[in-house]
Structure 1
Amino acid sequence: MAELLSDYAGQWRFDPAHTRIGFSTRHAMVTKVRGAFNDFEGSITVDADNPERSQVRLSVDVASIDTRNADRDQHLRTNDFFDAPHFPKITFVSSRVDQVDEGHFIVSGDVTIKGITKEISIPIDFIGVDRDPMGNLRAGFEGSRRIDRQDFGLKWNTALDSGGVLVSDKITLEFEVSAIKNEDGPGPAGAAQAAD
């Protein structure tokens, strides 16, 4: 991690056009429903001197939830689930970044959903870094973490005749991040969009 951090220390911002903040869960015990949040802001601060103090921040607009079904999305915005009018943001603020081995990290910190804050640890893989056609230094990261939605007050469910439930309590959070380094020098402000 020391080599990675010394090479790439500084501020990075998530590129929403090439980043997915998503989730998946079992529906009716037999299939998966996948979704994502379309509006969010994220940043990474890489600290070469104190690697464990490197920081990741993420803020997600709950109302931007998208499972490709308008009725389901509207239900998820209600108090049965996220209660978007009263709790419009999901946030994550890391407290520590640990290296497991080369290219593999554990990012630990506080996630807040529906006003409830819990500490979680997320395994993250560093995919690589390169210059894009617009001259941006761009890094890729992927990771996932399973959580229990009831821990965050998302308790709505419906029993099935089989004895199971309609929506699983276990939710897998999914992160596919493209981050652009904030650098001095040339490069249009809209490079992320222009690079589509």
Structure 2
Amino acid sequence: MATTPDPRLTGTYTLDPAHTRIGFVARHAMVTKVRGAFNDFTGTARINGENPEQSSVELVVKAESIDTRNADRDGHLRSNDFLDMANHPEITFRSTGVKQSGDDAFDVTGDLTIKGVTRSVTVPFTYEGQAKDPFGNERIGLEGALTIDRRDYGVTWNAALETGGFLVSDTVRLEFEVSAVKQS
């Protein structure tokens, strides 16, 4: 997935959870941001280095693994008010297309499912490079982000503030910092 076709990149890669962050950012009380991440996920990328448009990505995130460093908030986010993890234990993304949009930039379009609602989204990714780690693993790095409206996925709970506005922003920024290991 570099500027020129690179057959060395062709292969199946799995996300390395120890070096990958699937995160999010939302405004809280209109004055600050709350950041969090999901700690339990699996992902696979099938990359065609000669023809990136033939590449694909799948990601499965366990909703219960949400972590904002606040147990009470995490419990509320797991509840029916937000992710309803009892009925919808997974958040998924399955690509439907990949398009090179710049030298090391790629738009990955796919179906994002949250709380049982599926919508098509496009995540712009930047290819950060390839390296062989000290253990002999071939790794690639990718970074991407997009902003969604949580209401589009049935995540509508909120509370009005005395000063105007709401406790939780409707928009949520999803962030992907990926380290993936090539499978032999």
Bin of the TM-score, shorter chain as denominator length: over 0.9
CA contact under 8 A between 2:148 and 2:173: conserved in structure 1?
A: yes
Equivalent pairs: percent with the same residue? 55
Aligned residue type for 2:83: F
- Go from structure 1 to structure 2 and tell me whether the alpha carbon gap of 1:60 and 1:143 turns closer, same or farther (over 3 Å shift): same
- Separation (CA, whole Å) in 2 of partners of 1:8 and 1:146: 29
User: In the TM superposition, what are the counterparts of 1:158-177 in structure 2 within 5 Å?
Assistant: 158-177=159-178
**Match for residue 19 of structure 1?**
20
Shift of 1:14: 0.2
- Go from structure 1 to structure 2 and tell me whether the alpha carbon gap of 1:43 and 1:5 turns closer, same or farther (over 3 Å shift): farther
**Match for residue 124 of structure 2?**
123
**Match for residue 97 of structure 1?**
98
**Match for residue 191 of structure 1?**
none
User: Is 1:39 aligned with 2:40?
Assistant: yes
Aligned residue type for 1:158: A
User: In the TM superposition, what are the counterparts of 1:36-115 in structure 2 within 5 Å?
Assistant: 36-48=37-49, 50-115=51-116
Aligned residue type for 1:182: Q
- Separation (CA, whole Å) in 1 of partners of 2:132 and 2:73: 39
- Separation (CA, whole Å) in 2 of partners of 1:37 and 1:18: 13
Superposed CA deviations along residues 72-110 of structure 1, whole A, max 9, x for unmatched, are 000000000000010000000001111111111100000
Shift of 1:5: 4.6
- Separation (CA, whole Å) in 2 of partners of 1:13 and 1:78: 30
CA contact under 8 A between 1:53 and 1:95: conserved in structure 2?
A: no
* Structural RMSD (CA): 1.2
Point out the more displaced range, 2-11 or 85-94. Answer: 2-11
User: In the TM superposition, what are the counterparts of 1:124-143 in structure 2 within 5 Å?
Assistant: 124-143=125-144
CA contact under 8 A between 2:115 and 2:153: conserved in structure 1?
A: yes
Shift of 1:49: 5.7
**Match for residue 3 of structure 1?**
4
CA contact under 8 A between 1:55 and 1:97: conserved in structure 2?
A: yes
Unaligned runs of 5+ residues in structure 2 are: none
- Separation (CA, whole Å) in 2 of partners of 1:155 and 1:42: 28
* Runs of 4+ in structure 1 over 4 Å off: none
**Match for residue 155 of structure 1?**
156
Shift of 1:53: 2.3
**Match for residue 193 of structure 1?**
none
- Separation (CA, whole Å) in 1 of partners of 2:95 and 2:26: 24
CA contact under 8 A between 1:97 and 1:106: conserved in structure 2?
A: yes
CA contact under 8 A between 2:110 and 2:121: conserved in structure 1?
A: yes
- Separation (CA, whole Å) in 1 of partners of 2:122 and 2:98: 9
Unaligned runs of 5+ residues in structure 1 are: 184-196
Superposed CA deviations along residues 20-67 of structure 1, whole A, max 9, x for unmatched, are 000001000010000000000001001246431210110000000000
CA contact under 8 A between 2:5 and 2:50: conserved in structure 1?
A: no
- Separation (CA, whole Å) in 2 of partners of 1:3 and 1:13: 23
- Separation (CA, whole Å) in 2 of partners of 1:125 and 1:48: 15
